[in-house]
Amino acid sequence: MSEVEAIEARIRDLPPQEFASLREWFHEFENECWDQQIASDFKSGKFNQLIEKARAEFAQGKAREL
């Protein structure tokens, strides 16, 4: 049995309240990972082309402030 399969089996056996706590923790953890990925991508310049395109469209009147 792989480690993932063992974890899945343990999760299936959790009482409802503990499962709810795990689900909440995992959701928060997943959001933190996503935030870190976005920050990393931003620092590396992956959004630069999108930012420039948005600025150009705004300057041309094709977009408006939110």
**Residue 63: predicted pLDDT:** 80
* Tens-level pLDDT at each residue, the chain (66 residues): 899 999 999 999 999 999 999 999 999 999 999 999 999 999 999 999 999 999 999 999 988 777
DSSP letters for 4-48: HHHHHHHHHTS-HHHHHHHHHHHHHHHHHHHHHHHHHHHHTTTTH
How far from 3 is each of 6, 8, 20, 29, CA to CA, in Å?
5, 9, 22, 19
Domain borders along the chain are 3-59
pTM of the complete model: 0.67
Q: Which residues contact 9 (CB under 8 A, 6 or more apart)?
A: 1
